[in-house]
């Protein structure tokens, strides 16, 4: 969940490292530190807080060297202190490394190493690796010592290592934690995310589990832990550096909300055939099992999970196929029952979500065909699945996912058309869904024009600390997603709830200090939602409603209304979520919070 960058090449390392880790700050920002190897040995500096705190601390100091590593931390083992910040070193300050992941057997290793005379400076599990490599160095080369040390580790790691007396070498290794190598002109950049290398190169090698890269100024090689050299495919990143910039917006989150229309366009471009009432998903064409599937098991985490819940409604209603949607973090622990004809579908913006990847591996081990919806080309999930669909929405930097949700739901609509038309979906129905989906980007643009009004609404409610989000059917997952956004961004208590379940407990919380947000478009459950609103109103609870344009009835009940254009019921979540994203954004800003980097959160959860 942390940000790693390593550099070896012809340039001064520190500027490259600082720029790279700044681009990865959304992955972790409790503390940061670097180690630069120059002619006078290794110089290191660390700081608690964001990258800006580290930059301020080293202002005016010189750290010269063309090999170095840097890390932004999201704490797992050990508190947020300078001594726990990475990089960590061995006893003699010879081995330096930055690490993402968790060493599950670090206590046993630490005890063993301490008994051999090693002295530890931090509370982290990571420091154990540095001392372990030091212990293995006797009679071995640098790369052999790293390999031997890694064989003794149980757990996950993405790490980059330098050795003070070998300035021409940098070693990177991966096991269940993402890591890539950027291939530049006379230089290499190791990173935990592609955004750190974009300015320097688009050519990358993705390391797989159990692999180690040895980088020198003259070349590179990839080995397994038995020191066998491997042939690795080179990939080209299709993002431009400009996509990872704010482009005049005050926050990445607002920029990415406003990129919603383009997200739908990019996710559906070339994939819709309206005149045939059909969709074309090239990544899935090779998987014949999908057309004949008897059931689909969707697994995801967080926002992607709620997108999967919307997809479940779509596929069952329009494609007539049984669907189960699971939180990936629980999927493999409940001993799922796979049946002949099942398809496993993983959803992850980053393609690196640890729990989703673990669930995918569980399905793959059981022989179930696995497919994915991911955004990052070359990501682990994308490479491990039998077939998949890329979102093509560019990097999503804001920790709170916005455009990715809209894209994922749009792709579920495409998948519904594809599977449905191979079953009993009529040409007329297929055409109608495709034609309405084509209109969605312009409808989102209409909603975005209400941003200022939604900002005023957020300010009106900014002092409330409890919210209940309610929805039914297609908009039940949107209620959960809306509540999640508010929690992430503003740290207030917000709950998603099925409106039909309100009377079974949550209504007890309603009073004049507990606002409810109803997602109530004019759909098949509209009258039920209106009844639920009346129940809240009778208990003096403030009501905000997301409703269909022209609905005057809602105005008579709700205290405030945000209108969305009319569309097909199955597509309403793509529209109804946008006001909730804007409300959460403006609410967090009004409370003076950093909405791009909310406390305790990281963008990509790459540890369990």
State the catalytic residues. Answer: 2, 603
107 phi/psi in degrees, rounded to 5: -65, -45
With beta carbons less than 8 A apart as the criterion, state whether 48 and 80 touch: yes
- Give the whole-angstrom CA distance, residue 285 versus residue 558: 47
Task: Report the largest interatomic distance among the alpha carbons of the chain, rounded to a whole angstrom.
Answer: 82
- Give the whole-angstrom CA distance, residue 233 versus residue 182: 13
Q: How close are the terminal C-alpha atoms of the chain, in Å?
A: 10
- Give the whole-angstrom CA distance, residue 580 versus residue 387: 33
**What are the tokens at 162?**
């330098």
Taking alpha carbons only, the member of 199, 256, 234 closest to residue 603 is 256
Q: For the CA atoms of 206, 209, 214, 220, what is the dihedral angle to 10 degrees?
A: -30
- Give the whole-angstrom CA distance, residue 424 versus residue 314: 14
Q: At what angle do helices 427-448 and 572-590 cross, to 10 degrees?
A: 20
Contact partners, residue 173, CB within 8 Å, separation at least 6: 146, 150, 157, 158, 159, 161, 179, 207, 211, 212, 213
Q: Provide the edge-to-edge strand list for the sheet that holds 219-224.
A: 88-89, 95-100, 157-163, 169-175, 211-216, 219-224, 229-230
**What are the tokens at 435?**
């034609």
């Amino acid at each position: 969940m942390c940000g790693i960058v390593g550099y070896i090449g012809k340039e001064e390392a520190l500027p490259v490292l600082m720029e790279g880790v700044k681009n990865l700050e959304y992955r972790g920002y409790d503390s940061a530190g670097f180690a630069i190897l120059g002619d006078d040995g290794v110089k290191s500096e660390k700081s608690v807080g964001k990258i800006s705190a580290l930059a301020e601390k080293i202002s005016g100091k010189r750290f010269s060297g063309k090999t170095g590593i840097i890390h932004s931390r999201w704490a797992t083992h050990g508190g947020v202190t300078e001594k726990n910040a990475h990089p960590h070193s061995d006893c003699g300050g010879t081995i330096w490394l930055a690490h993402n992941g968790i060493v599950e057997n670090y206590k046993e290793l630490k005890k063993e190493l301490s008994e051999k005379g090693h002295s530890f400076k931090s509370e982290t599990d990571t420091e154990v690796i540095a001392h372990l490599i030091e212990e293995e160095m006797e009679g071995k080369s640098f790369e052999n010592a790293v390999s031997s040390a890694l064989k003794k580790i149980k757990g996950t790691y993405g790490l980059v290592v330098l050795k003070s007396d070998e300035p021409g070498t940098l070693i990177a290794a991966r096991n269940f934690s993402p890591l890539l190598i950027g291939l530049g002109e006379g230089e290499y950049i190791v990173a935990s995310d592609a955004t750190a290398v974009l300015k320097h190169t688009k050519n990358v090698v993705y390391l797989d589990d159990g692999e180690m890269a040895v980088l020198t100024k003259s070349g590179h090689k990839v080995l397994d832990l038995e020191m066998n050299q491997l042939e690795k495919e080179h990939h080209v990143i299709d993002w431009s550096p400009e996509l990872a910039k704010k482009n005049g917006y005050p926050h990445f989150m607002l920029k990415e909300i406003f990129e919603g229309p383009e997200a739908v366009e990019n996710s559906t471009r070339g994939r819709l055939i309206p005149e045939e009432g059909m969709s074309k998903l090239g990544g899935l064409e090779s998987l014949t099992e999908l057309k004949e599937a008897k059931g689909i098991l969707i697994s995801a985490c967080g926002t992607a999970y709620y997108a999967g819940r919307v997809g479940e409604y779509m596929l069952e209603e329009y494609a007539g196929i049984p669907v189960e949607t699971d939180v990936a973090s629980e999927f493999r622990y409940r001993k799922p029952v796979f049946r002949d004809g099942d398809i496993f579908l993983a959803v992850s913006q980053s393609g690196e979500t640890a729990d989703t990847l673990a669930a995918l591996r569980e399905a793959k081990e059981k022989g179930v065909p696995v497919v994915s919806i991911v955004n990052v080309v070359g990501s682990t999930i994308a490479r491990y699945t039998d077939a998949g669909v890329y979102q093509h929405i560019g990097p999503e930097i804001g920790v709170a996912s916005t455009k990715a949700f809209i894209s994922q739901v749009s792709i579920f609509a495409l998948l519904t058309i594809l599977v449905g038309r191979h079953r009993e979906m009529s040409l007329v129905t297929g055409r109608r869904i495709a034609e309405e989906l084509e209109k969605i980007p312009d409808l989102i643009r209409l909603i975005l024009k209400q941003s200022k009004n939604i900002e005023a609404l957020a300010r009106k409610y900014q002092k409330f600390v409890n919210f209940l989000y309610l929805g039914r059917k297609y908009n039940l997952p949107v209620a959960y997603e809306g509540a999640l956004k508010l929690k992430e961004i503003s740290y207030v208590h917000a709950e998603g709830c099925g409106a039909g379940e309100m009377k079974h407990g949550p209504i007890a919380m309603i009073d004049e200090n507990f606002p409810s947000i109803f997602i109530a478009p004019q759909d098949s459950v509209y009258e039920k939602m209106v009844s639920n609103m009346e129940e809240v109103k009778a208990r003096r609870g403030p009501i905000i409603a997301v409703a269909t344009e022209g609905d005057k009835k809602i105005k008579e009940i709700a205290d405030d209304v945000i209108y969305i254009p009319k569309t097909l019921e199955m597509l309403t979540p793509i529209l109804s979520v946008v006001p909730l994203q804007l409300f959460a954004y403006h609410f967090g800003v009004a409370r003076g919070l950093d909405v791009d980097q909310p406390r305790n959160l990281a963008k990509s959860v790459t540890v369990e």
